[in-house]
Amino acid sequence: MDMQIFLQQLINGASLGSMYALIAIGYTMVYGVLRLINFAHGDIMMVGAFLTYFGMESGLSFELAALLGIIGAAIVGILTDRIAYRPLRDAPKISLLITAIGISFFLENLFTVLFGATPKAFKAPEYITKVFHIGEIYLPISVIIIPTITLIILAIVLYILYKTKYGMAIRALAFDIKTVKLMGIDADKIIMIVFMIGSALAAIGGIFYAISYPSIDPLMGVIVGLKAFAAAVLGGIGSVTGAVIGGFILGFTEILVVALFPELGGYKDAFAFFFLILVLLFKPTGIMGQDLERGRF
Amino acid sequence: MLKVKNLVVKYGVINAVRGIDLEVKKGEIVTLIGANGAGKTSTLNAIVNLVKKSGYVEFNGVDISKTKTHQIVQMGLSLVPEGRRIFINLTVEENLRMGAFNNDDKFEELKEQMYNRFPRLKDKRNQLGGTLSGGEQQMLAIARALMGTPKMLMLDEPSLGLAPKIIGEVFDIIIELSKTIPILLVEQNAFAALKIADYGYVLENGQITLQDKASNLLGNDEVRAKYLGG
Ligand SMILES: Nc1ncnc2c1ncn2[C@@H]1O[C@H](COP(=O)(O)OP(=O)(O)OP(=O)(O)O)[C@@H](O)[C@H]1O
Ligand SMILES: [Mg+2]
């Protein structure tokens, strides 16, 4: 394979990895505070993409529609916590997990009823999809925009986590929810903020996905969600930086596998999980993972 | 300041606390002593609703029996938990910041106060809480609770696992604090606790078997035999 195609694929990998990373952050943050694999998280990404589509169909500009999608997904995320997860705070974790699967089915079916099961074409504006070239490499502008925005978002999330009192409370909560309450902090409010951030980022990931594969359907969140989850575990569940690293690794691997071994292209989804198993064999806590159970009640 | 009536805590079939009454008045250090598993921690956790309980709790004239933990703390009743419960993944200063979560305006001022009172915390301000020694963690746990400017403080075995010299320091701090706020002190180190307390309760199997002025308890034969090593 010549250098140019390789470079081109590398950039594509960064773009795909960005989507996984954005969705993985939500998985990892919710796991951090609730010890819950939020199986509905992939569907929140779908909700974000669909609300954006709906906004554009209703005549909003792409930017406003995207804002609608992001805020809408954040609200749906907060509501799932408020209605479905919060009553189960003291219940066994398995009940929480089953509820999450239920929410996932509910959202998938709700959006199938609302919008139909057939894929919808997603028309992103020209300035995002336009193709440019450096030498022989032809690329849509989106593959530059997407990783750039992702890195900016990562910087903002890390700033919130490490420099604001709410971020500190999120990190404290990951270790010890009871002591957080003893600080006079409303733990449910902190958990709500986590769902808000995670869902908003998933929506952004969903919009990026819709731009890159310009079609969306109510089940789009299933496999992407699973792979983002794999990215979160790969990076070390509970670690935001780890989720981003895991997301990019998965993105690069997937694209490069397809580029280097086109005959294996059909197995690209399997590679994400093969890679995950391989890493976990050697480092069970993931790349950036720490033992989260330490210090818990 | 704090009134507890008929407090009951059950964990499934285990009756950890079986209907106790206790009271802490303004200006007092009250101590709750008892053997391992007597129900001391359960009592404190139940007062701030960290565990399910039944019974009546009144703080500062307000019924807080059903109030949520974080609201009780916001009302000024603070608990330094058993085992200190430092956020080991946060720095010393971040731990203090968490204590002052609802005290934004006063954070800088209170922080300097704490650093003056506990100079070792100042030296280690940017270190992770988990890297502190046991004594330093206990100081941090107390400082962190004080960052919320509580009106009353409950401490659960602050001397646990500390060297005698450090225990002395911790008790000096408690005496100092008691000049401004009432204190409910849970201790296994009954002798040290009774020496600084005004009033004491003895808890056995979830029931109060004895209560009196601390000085009287120190002289009580039964207490001496059971808790003060003869
Ligand atoms: N979360 C829990 N689940 C079940 N039983 C519990 C729980 N916490 C405490 N217990 C039981 O309740 C009883 C009282 O425990 P508690 O921790 O209140 O005692 P304690 O007086 O604080 O003891 P120690 O001096 O060892 O700290 C014990 O029999 C203990 O085993
Ligand atoms: Mg105890």
Q: Is the pLDDT of residue B230 over 70?
A: no
Q: Are strands B77-80 and B152-156 parallel, antiparallel or unpaired?
A: parallel
Domain hosting residue A216, numbered range: 20-223
Cα separation, A239 vs A290, in Å, equals 8
What pTM was estimated for this model as a whole? 0.92
Number of domains observed in the structure of chain A = 1
Q: Which residue has the higher pLDDT, A238 or B172?
A: B172
- Write down the pLDDT at residue B9: 97
Domain annotation covers residue A164 = yes
| Residue A118, domain member (yes or no) | yes
Instruction: Give me the torsion for CA of B111, B115, B116, B120, rounded to 10°.
Output: 170
Angle in degrees, 0-180, between the axes of helices A41-57 and A93-115, rounded to the nearest 10: 20
Distance A82 CA to ligand 2 centre (A): 33
Cα dihedral B177, B93, B103, B146 in deg (nearest 10): -10
Give the single-character DSSP code of A293.
Answer: T
- Does B174 have pLDDT greater than 60? yes
Cα separation of A83 and A107, whole Å?
14
What secondary structure does DSSP assign to B24-74, as a single string? E-TT-EEEEEE-TTSSHHHHHHHHTTSS--EEEEEETTEE-TT--HHHHHH
CA–CA dist B78, A182 (Å, integer): 7
Please give the distance, rounded to the nearest whole angstrom, from the Cα atom of residue A170 to the centre of ligand 2. Answer: 27
So what's the pLDDT on residue A295? 34
Is residue A1 predicted with pLDDT exceeding 90?
Answer: no
Asked if residue A77 is part of any domain, the answer here is: yes
* Average pLDDT for A16-41: 93
Predicted pLDDT of residue A90: 86
pLDDT confidence of residue A168: 95
DSSP string, B162-219: --HHHHHHHHHHHHHHHTTS-EEEEES-HHHHHHH-SEEEEEETTEEEEEEEHHHHHH
Cβ–Cβ below 8 Å for A168 and B148: no
Q: Note whether A183 contacts B99, CB cutoff 8 Å.
A: yes
> Interface pTM (ipTM) of the complex?
0.94
Determine the Cα–Cα distance for residues B29 and A267; give it in Å rounded to an integer.
Answer: 70
Q: What pLDDT does A292 receive?
A: 55
Cβ contact A183–B89 (<8 Å)? no
Say whether residue B70 is in contact with chain A using an 8 A CB cutoff.
yes
Residue A188 lies in a domain: yes
User: Scanning the structure block, which residue is given the tokens 């805590």?
Assistant: B9
Burial class of residue B196, CB neighbours in 10 A (0-12, 13-18, 19+): middle
Confidence (pLDDT) at B32: 96
Q: What percent of chain B has pLDDT over 90?
A: 88
- 3-state SS assignment for residue B150: coil
> Where is average pLDDT lowest: A137-141, A225-229, B97-101, B154-158?
A137-141
Does B191 touch chain A if contact means CB atoms closer than 8 Å? no
Q: What is the mean pLDDT of residues A138-148?
A: 92
The domains of chain B, with CATH numbers, are 1-76+184-230 (3.40.50.300)
Q: How confident is the model at residue A296 (pLDDT cuts 50, 70, 90)?
A: very low
Q: How far apart are CA B200 and CA B29, in angstroms?
A: 9
User: Does the residue A275 lie in any domain?
Assistant: no
H or E stretch including A215? strand A215-216
- Residue A243 is assigned to a structural domain of this protein: no
B14 lines ligand 1 (CB under 6 A): yes
How do residues A149-203 score in pLDDT, each as one tens digit? 999 999 999 999 999 999 999 999 988 999 999 999 999 999 999 999 999 999 9
Q: Is residue A238 part of a domain?
A: no
With the most atoms of ligand 1 within 8 angstroms of its CB, the residue from B17, B18, B42 to mutate is: B42
In three-state form (DSSP H/G/I as H, E/B as E, the rest C), the secondary structure along A135-154 is CCEEEECHHHHHHHHHHHHH
Closest residue by Cα to residue A250 from A219, A217, A285, A287: A287
State how far the Cα of A138 lies from the Cα of A166, in Å rounded to an integer: 43
Quote the pLDDT of residue A56: 96
Token pair for residue A288?
A: 């950036």
Count the helix, strand and coil residues of chain B and give each as a percent rounded to the nearest 5: 40, 30, 30
Q: Which residues surround ligand 2, an ion (CB under 5 A)?
A: B 40-41, 82
What pLDDT was estimated at residue A291? 59
Q: What is the pLDDT of residues A26-38, one digit of tens each?
A: 999 999 899 899 9
CB atoms within 10 A of CB A250: 28
Encode pLDDT of B53-78 as tens digits. 999 999 999 999 999 999 999 999 99
Q: Is residue A246 part of a domain?
A: no
